[in-house]
A and B are shown apart, each in its own frame.
Chain A
Amino acid sequence: MKVSYFETGRYVPPPDLPREWPVPPAAYDPATGAEAFRGMVERVRFVEQLGFDWISVSEHHYSPRILTPSPVVSAAWLAARVPTIKIALLGPIVPTSNPIRIAEELAMLDTLAPGRIVVGLLRGTTNEYLSYDLNPAEARERTDEGMELILKAWTEPQPFGWQGRYFQYRTVSIWPRPQQPPPPTYVLGTSAEAGAFAARKHCGLGVSYGNFESMGQATAYYRQQCAQYGWTPGPDDIIYRANMILGETDDAADEALRRRDKQAPFPVRAALRDALLQADTTRNIAGEKRPANVGGVLPISFCGGPDRVVEQIRRCRETMGAGVLDLSLQDPGAGDTDAMMDGLELFARKVLPRIRDI
């Protein structure tokens, strides 16, 4: 089992920060922001020394919960300052972006930090569509076409035009190209569409936060699709991003779980949340319809002392086939980075050595 640490740019918010998304820029404190980004480098160096395999960065907008609107910028900064650990961009939100720009920037990163970049291509959560004014009804199709175009831009040796549904280019001919072969690439999502696309393109699959059984449905569908395309994904082809509460003992972890904030940080207003849920109707797990998650509290997938957590990881592997765990040991947006560092250290000491052979 490989482990990745999900770095979110820990902005430690003052208690009186407005709680609604979008959070007014007036509430932003530049010194706190600078401290958050200094801390990013420190934390990533720390987990590198602890023996983590990857760190991951993501794309979120308009609140301090995850202070990284550009995963490419995060990755470039970290790649230059931390020597060896792999950096996974999980990921650029494809439907709101110019796919050629994504292809070019990721190729640059892959050239700047050869062998260290991992790519996840993401449809994005529903509320993120508000950031760049994406019509939720088009998100799925724009993602599929954008991903196809990114992969094509990386691999096509001759200048080509693209007569898409949502994107049109008369000439695409990117420089630099990614290192050979292109960086490991994952499609991020639980839907049948994501699974089928990843299988067809020989990409990995990344799922997140859901319970082992439902995420297992998504990965089973993916493996079944891969079989149809004549290949078998390995454990490294499946990433599971999840929250973990690790304590010295089960009781300590359970107590931390009880104390955990039951409210999602920075939710959208109720009326807007309902409108978003109505607008985004194509979410599914392996084809089984499910509602979008708009600002709900993300579940804790792993909770306990080291023994219990090791068993949970074993069960995760058996149920989902995931070979890469991408972990948060404190909710993004929670201010207690010291507790998180303690958790990371405990994980490296008491859990990591015991899950390597899972």
Chain B
Amino acid sequence: MGTSETAASFTEGFVEADGFRIRYMEAGQGTPLIHLHGAGGPRLTRGHYLLSQHYRVIAFEMPGFGQSPENTRTATMADLAATMAAAVTAMRIDRFNLLGTSFGGKVALWLAAQQRERVLGLVLEAPAAIRPAGTESPSGTPEEIARRLYAHPEKLGPLPIADPAIQAKTRALVSRLRGPDRDAALEAQMRELATPTLVLFGTLDHVIPPEMGRHYKELLPNCHLVLVYDAGHAISTERPEAFAEVTADFLERHEAFVISRIETVIHP
């Protein structure tokens, strides 16, 4: 299954929420799985497709990212989280699973803290909510950005050319919202957040060091940390099967996902 098949399985929709017209891509049946993308904007991966075999995947384009108009109104991550929660409500979804990637991981944490009863399970893919001091977002030429995002950019083939206008618009928004590298207000919320949470880091993440994962374990009372071998920051692009399997298994079983169900019979 290539990117084209992934794209073909998703359909586009729009929802009005909090004064924004918000685009989303949707595929699959079952319990909703809301995805909040990273600072580079929405991008469907094979990981989304694989998850749509188990869940009703709704990948939002957050206001100000991707094709949406410039967003000068949202002031904080908590505001953005509230907007996205309103978008979920506008889709008549009550309870849901939540997946946040990188920058979207921080939004997802805020959203889960604001909507504790509604978020069934939380998966954070290479979250950027806790960063080493002075962490910079990937920037530069497409090749330079790819070397930050991926462990093995050479295996991925030609990368999409980013639109400079979108990049400029997004960069301003991300700079305004990303907050401090250690966000005391969010971390106070995290200490009280009982939502079952899975934190994923690639072992070759060149944007957020995977060592940041331990802070989530320390702060979140119900957190599991899984390292995805040989993946960079964009785990669901580089190791989509590994990403989707552990994500779906965790969302289905929460902490019981540590009990292996792998069958190892060679010859019956």
Which residues of chain A from 70 to 85 have a CB within 8 Å of any chain B CB? none
User: B255, B260, B264, B265: which contacts A272 (Cβ < 8 A)?
Assistant: B255
Q: Count of chain A residues with Cβ under 8 Å from any Cβ of B? A: 22
Q: A130-B259, A269-B255 are in contact. Are A168 and B264 (CB under 8 A)?
A: no
Q: Does A129 contact B (CB under 8 A)?
A: yes
Q: A271-B254, A275-B253 are in contact. Are A138 and B259 (CB under 8 A)?
A: no
Q: A133-B260, A133-B262, A135-B262 are in contact. Are A165 and B267 (CB under 8 A)?
A: yes
B260 touches A134 (CB 8 A): yes
B267 touches A136 (CB 8 A): no
Q: How far is the CA of A275 from the CA of B252 in the complex (A)?
A: 13
Q: How far is the CA of A293 from the CA of B267 in the complex (A)?
A: 31
Which residues of chain B from 234 to 267 have a CB within 8 Å of any chain A CB? 253-256, 258-267
Output the least CB separation between B140 and chain A (Å). 36
Q: Does A279 contact B (CB under 8 A)?
A: yes
| B265 to A, closest residue via Cβ | A165
Which of B258, B262, B263, B268 has most A Cβ within 10 Å? B258
Which of B258, B259, B263, B266 has most A Cβ within 10 Å? B259
A130 touches B263 (CB 8 A): no
A165 touches B255 (CB 8 A): no
B265 contacts which chain A residues (CB < 8 A)? 138, 165-166
B259 touches A276 (CB 8 A): yes
Output the least CB separation between A273 and chain B (Å). 10
| A133 to B, closest residue via Cβ | B260
| A167 to B, closest residue via Cβ | B266
Output the least CB separation between A214 and chain B (Å). 27
B258 contacts which chain A residues (CB < 8 A)? 130, 272
Q: How far is the CA of A167 from the CA of B261 in the complex (A)?
A: 18
A275 contacts which chain B residues (CB < 8 A)? 253, 255-256, 259
Q: How far is the CA of A279 from the CA of B253 in the complex (A)?
A: 12
Output the least CB separation between B223 and chain A (Å). 12
Chain B binding surface SS class: loop
B256 touches A271 (CB 8 A): yes
Which of B253, B254, B256, B267 has most A Cβ within 10 Å? B256
A134 contacts which chain B residues (CB < 8 A)? 260
A168 contacts which chain B residues (CB < 8 A)? 266-267
Output the least CB separation between B260 and chain A (Å). 4
A24 contacts which chain B residues (CB < 8 A)? 217
Q: A271-B255, A275-B253 are in contact. Are A163 and B260 (CB under 8 A)?
A: no
B217 contacts which chain A residues (CB < 8 A)? 24
Q: A130-B258, A130-B259, A275-B259 are in contact. Are A166 and B253 (CB under 8 A)?
A: no
Q: How far is the CA of A313 from the CA of B261 in the complex (A)?
A: 42
User: A129, A138, A271: which contacts B263 (Cβ < 8 A)?
Assistant: A138
Q: How far is the CA of A123 from the CA of B101 in the complex (A)?
A: 41
A135 touches B267 (CB 8 A): no
Q: Does A142 contact B (CB under 8 A)?
A: yes
B255 contacts which chain A residues (CB < 8 A)? 269, 271-272, 275
Output the least CB separation between A17 and chain B (Å). 16
| A271 to B, closest residue via Cβ | B255
A165 touches B259 (CB 8 A): no
Q: Does A164 contact B (CB under 8 A)?
A: yes
Which residues of chain A from 112 to 133 have a CB within 8 Å of any chain B CB? 129-130, 133
| A272 to B, closest residue via Cβ | B255
Which residues of chain A from 88 to 115 have a CB within 8 Å of any chain B CB? none
User: A129, A136, A165, A272: which contacts B266 (Cβ < 8 A)?
Assistant: A165
User: B256, B264, B266: which contacts A135 (Cβ < 8 A)?
Assistant: B264
A135 contacts which chain B residues (CB < 8 A)? 259-264
Q: How far is the CA of A24 from the CA of B223 in the complex (A)?
A: 13
Output the least CB separation between A100 and chain B (Å). 15
Output the least CB separation between B121 and chain A (Å). 13
Q: How far is the CA of A130 from the CA of B258 in the complex (A)?
A: 6
Q: Which 9 A-B pairs have the closest CB atoms?
A: A275-B256, A135-B260, A133-B260, A168-B266, A279-B259, A272-B255, A130-B258, A165-B265, A135-B262
Q: Enumerate chain B interface residues (CB-CB to A < 8 A).
A: 217, 253-256, 258-268
Q: Enumerate chain A interface residues (CB-CB to B < 8 A).
A: 24, 129-130, 133-138, 142, 163-168, 269, 271-272, 275-276, 279
Task: Write 17 A-B pairs (CB below 8 A) sorted by A numbering.
Answer: A129-B259, A130-B259, A133-B260, A133-B262, A135-B260, A135-B264, A136-B260, A137-B261, A138-B265, A164-B266, A166-B265, A167-B266, A269-B255, A272-B256, A272-B259, A275-B256, A276-B259
**7 extra A-B contacts, CB within 8 A, seeds A135-B262, A167-B266:** A24-B217, A133-B260, A135-B263, A137-B261, A165-B265, A166-B265, A272-B256
